[in-house]
Structure 1
């Protein structure tokens, strides 16, 4: 059972974050409970570090961030995290150009692709295959980014960001 949320594309709508701004969606009335997911988004920023999105708590979460100009993904389904860092061959992703990110998960297999070229595939640990989140879905930051499980960053994503599809 997978889930899919349709959000505007970059041509239709865009969120711009300044300082400590972020988007938050309360999942308590419509929790995520899925064995497969797809997240597709685009972002551009000058900032080297910042939260792109996060959902979940304790040992069941997805965290996508910029860490030192690279895209960092951490997914934990309850029994240990899958972690991936995607870096361009030359430069960094905080170059104020648009970058397209796609994350797919089917059971334990996770694939992250940036700009359709740089791809990493791996597996979450142990036997858990369901992602469950009835907490909040954060985009661009959170009230306490440093305290989010799996978060490699402590800051907000400043500048422009658009989300085209998530979960």
Structure 2
């Protein structure tokens, strides 16, 4: 008998620590995606996750205390900035982020309340990545495509994949 509940793992990143997974042996090729994670931090800026390079990528970050999402499927980016009504998300409390994509339609919600929906540009619908999948930071976050982060920053995160 199974409970149907996913196991949860907590990863804490301090200083310049981050998680990196090489996708070259098992590339991502998808027309729909779901990313669910929780995070808490006092940092105003930091990379939550990134995969892809050049024109095919997903970048989820904290920018000035708001959640930033940039997805490009090769023909132009969908960008969303989710800000709380009062305060910022860098309040050292747990926040839940959910990103879903079906073909070109992208929805991001934070804490199940603040939701933004939009579309990637043009007709491309597939996300392809054979590069690295980063969580919590990267060797050069400011250089990642779609990154709103101008300097390196990592923070505690609780990814649930």
Q: Do they fold alike, i.e. is TM over 0.5?
A: yes
Match of 1:119 in 2: 115
Deviation at 1:20, TM superposition (A): 0.3
User: Contact 1:21–1:156 at 8 Å: present in 2 too?
Assistant: no
Structure 2 distance, partners of 1:156, 1:55, is: 17
Partner of 2:86: 90
In structure 1, the residue matched to 2:153 is: 156
1:106 aligned residue: 102
Q: Distance in 1 between matches of 2:152 and 2:101?
A: 26
Correspondence for 2:3: none
C-alpha deviations, 1:95-121, integer Å up to 9, x for none?
000000000000000000000000000
Contact 1:8 1:163 in 2 (8 A): no
Deviant stretches of 4+, over 6 Å:
none
Per the normalisation by structure 1, the TM-score is 0.91
Distance in structure 1 (CA, Å) of the matches to 2:69 and 2:91: 19
Q: CA RMSD in A?
A: 0.9
Provide the residue aligned with 1:60 in structure 2. Answer: 56
Whether the 8 Å CA contact 1:22–1:156 is kept in 2: the answer is no
Structure 1 residue 156, shift from structure 2 partner: 2.3
Q: Equivalent residue for 1:4?
A: none
